[in-house]
Each structure stands twice: as C-alpha cells, then as structure tokens.
C-alpha cells in the first residue's frame, strides 16, 4: 500500500464505542430498484453485497417512514412491520461482507411524486411549492398541503417506529435524512416553512421538528437497541432559493446537533471542496472548513463529494475530516477501497463503463437512470 494512503485504513471509534475498520464509507444513494410495494429485490441485495466488501460502513438508500413519505419510484419501504423481513435482507447482505449496515430513514414531503402517496396528496411544513426537483416545480397547480400539528407528531413517532424496525431487522444503526430538500429540511428552511406555530417562524422554531426527530430516534434506541447502535444525521449546508437556508443557518443547526449525543454528522455535498454561496464572512473558505470549526471535534463529520481517485481522498483527509463517504465512485468501481489497500490505486476506474452493467452488479432501473442522465456520472454525456 502507498504509505500516503495509510490514514484511510486506520480504525476509527465512534462516540458510542463502535470501531470502524477504516475511514471509508459508502454514501446513501437512491437506486430505484425495489418492487412497487416497497419490498427489496434480489438485484438490489446483490448490488449492496457487491459494494460492501471494502468499506467500513454502508449507508443505504432512504426508506420512507410513512406511506405519504415515499419519495421515489422503486424505493424500499420501512413504514410497517411487514417490511422487516425485506429490510433485513439488505442488512444481512451488507454485514456478511464485513461492513456496518446503516438504514437511512426519511420522509419526502413536498418532493414526493403524487402518484406514490395516498390520494395523491403531498404534504410539507407549509403549502409552498418546490422551486426545483419536486413535482410542484413543473406543475404549478400541484401544491403541498401544510401538515397539522397532530400529523407532525405522528410523523415524528413514525421515525421512531422505523428505527425500531431497523433494530429488529439487524441494522447497526440509522441515519436521519435531514438533507437534499426532503421533509426534515423543509421544516428547517425559511423557503418551505412559513408556519407561525411552535414548528415555524424563528430559526430556533424551525429547528423544532428536526430536533424532535433526533430525540424520538434516540429514545427508541435507548428502549430497543443494543448500546452500540449508531445514530447519524445528514444535512445539506445551503439552498439556492431566497429565502432559503444559508451557511450561517446550517452552522447554527450543526452547533446544536453536535451536542445531541449523535454518533456522526454527514454533510451532503456534490463537491467536497465547495465554498459557501452566502451567510458567512469568508466565501473562499470551504464549507467543510466551516463545519469542522463549528463542530470542534464534538462529533465526527463524514465528508463527501466527487472523491474519485485516491489522490482526491488524500486531499480531503488533509482537511481534518475523520471519515469520507464515496457514492458514485463505488458504483463505477465497487473495488475502489480494495485497490487502494492493495497498492493498486492506478487501477481505480473513474468513469462508468457502459459495457459492464452485469460485472458492476447494477440493477436495471439504476442503470437506466445513470445512462439516461447526462452529467450525473463521469463517462455519461
């Protein structure tokens, strides 16, 4: 092994005492490959197994905690006890390869396609349509309905129930998905949250829903899980909308989350070294630098974003980030970690090979999404 890469492979101990065998994690990525009823498919199980051999931890694609939270076609469900055997198949496939299995739990909110949710009714913090990415972006007459306080409490409880299912299905932990414009972020965002009750208004009130979910998940973990069960939280640093989440808003949220007894925080970034767009003094300093300063070693931060080569990873680790997640990279080359460990980093493949779907063990729905979305993956134009 190249000595410069030795740091990737030192073990890392999470706050709850769990030792990760190395510093490389598989990032959560939607794969569109479950059955319409939310049951996982053989192709999906094989896809995870193929990518779990080198990394220390695999964070799954998101699973919905309620029927009206399903955000994608082909998403596997976690909203009822009937789904526990299905959920268990993925956990088992990951763990058999030697990685920790983390279930990402979420609610899509206003980003849910109406055809996937009961009565076609999409819900959010307020009745504000999405400006990008959601159905309401293209169809102005499709507006989300603001959730009632009773419904909000039901969803908070549902996050706890899906956490219990993760425990029963054999997962090593859960990741609360507070990023990428989904419901938890919709409550934190001044764009999507125009409420005037306890869940909206000031920055602190907009944190109420995310923090209530953290508390509920931790309560369920204390009641149902072994002491080494992992709880993480993923967040997006900024939104382009105005009003929208600024870097300063996120630093305040992260400062609060860092004291919540979580096992890690996970930033969602397309580019690891990206810089803030607004809300902080120095727009040349990277978001990762700001986050590490704010966290100040109270909780581990997982960095992510276009880390294709071992050199990219070395530069990322030089920032002081303790853990690094690879997403597209592990779809393109499932043996990325093993190649680095064996001193074969020159053999890492960094562009998708369109002739090798079968060898890469990529399910048809994900493959079709990759090759029909120019610019998403290197090698697809």
Q: Which residues are catalytic?
A: 182
CA 100 centroid distance within chain: 15
Peptide bond into 243 cis (omega under 30): yes
Count of residues making up the chain:
381
Q: Are 91 and 99 in contact (CB under 8 A)?
A: no
Helices (H) and strands (E) in the chain, counts: 14, 12
The one-character DSSP state at 375 is T
Tell me which residue of 254, 268, 105 sits closest to 174, measured CA to CA. Answer: 105
CA angle 375, 355, 35 (to 5 degrees): 75
Tell me which residue of 236, 307, 314 sits closest to 276, measured CA to CA. Answer: 236
Q: Are 54 and 336 in contact (CB under 8 A)?
A: yes
220: tokens are 């369920």
Cβ neighbors of 244 (< 8 A, separation 6 or more) are: 189, 190, 191, 238
| DSSP letter for each residue of 253-286 | HHHHHTTTT-SEEEE--SSTT---SSSSS-TTS-
The one-character DSSP state at 153 is H
Tell me which residue of 265, 274, 327 sits closest to 295, measured CA to CA. Answer: 265
Beta bridge partners of 63: 105
H or E element at residue 326: strand 323-326
Round to whole Å and give the CA distance between 360 and 351. Answer: 12
Helices marked H in the chain:
42-51, 84-96, 135-138, 149-168, 183-188, 203-206, 208-224, 247-257, 287-295, 310-317, 328-332, 336-341, 357-360, 364-371
């Amino acid at each position: 092994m190249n000595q410069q890469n030795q740091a990737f492979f030192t073990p890392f101990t999470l706050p709850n005492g769990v030792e990760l065998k190395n510093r490389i994690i598989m990032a959560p990525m939607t794969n569109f490959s479950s059955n319409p009823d939310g049951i996982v498919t053989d192709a999906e199980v094989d896809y995870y197994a193929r990518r779990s051999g080198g990394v220390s931890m695999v964070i799954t694609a998101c699973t919905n905690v309620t029927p009206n939270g399903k955000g994608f076609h082909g998403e596997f469900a976690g909203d009822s006890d009937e789904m526990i055997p299905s959920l268990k198949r993925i956990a088992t496939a990951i763990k058999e390869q030697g990685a920790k299995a983390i279930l990402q739990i979420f609610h899509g909110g206003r980003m849910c396609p109406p055809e996937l949710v009961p009565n076609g009714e999409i819900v959010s913090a307020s009745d504000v349509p999405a400006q990008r990415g959601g159905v309401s972006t293209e169809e102005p007459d499709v507006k989300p309905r603001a959730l009632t306080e009773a419904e909000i409490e039901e969803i908070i409880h549902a996050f706890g129930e899906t956490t219990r299912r993760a425990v029963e299905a054999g997962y090593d932990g859960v990741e609360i998905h507070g990023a990428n414009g989904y419901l938890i972020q919709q409550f934190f965002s001044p764009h999507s949250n125009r409420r005037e009750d306890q869940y909206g208004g000031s920055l602190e009130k907009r944190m109420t829903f995310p923090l209530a979910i953290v508390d509920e998940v931790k309560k369920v973990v204390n009641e149902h899980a072994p002491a080494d069960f992992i709880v993480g939280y993923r967040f997006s640093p900024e939104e382009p909308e105005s009003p929208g989440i600024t870097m300063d808003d996120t630093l305040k949220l992260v400062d609060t989350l860092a004291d919540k007894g979580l096992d890690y925080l996970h930033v969602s970034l397309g580019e690891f070294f990206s810089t803030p767009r607004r809300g902080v003094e120095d727009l040349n300093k990277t978001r990762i630098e700001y986050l590490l300063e704010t966290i100040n070693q109270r909780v581990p931060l997982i960095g992510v974003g276009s880390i294709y080569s071992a050199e990219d990873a070395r530069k990322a680790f030089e920032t002081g980030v303790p853990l690094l997640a690879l997403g597209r990279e592990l779809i393109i080359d499932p043996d990325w970690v093993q190649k680095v460990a064996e001193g074969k980093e020159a053999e890492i493949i960094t562009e998708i090979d369109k002739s090798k779907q079968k060898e890469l063990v990529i399910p048809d729905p994900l493959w079709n999404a990759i090759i029909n979305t120019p610019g998403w993956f290197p090698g697809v134009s």
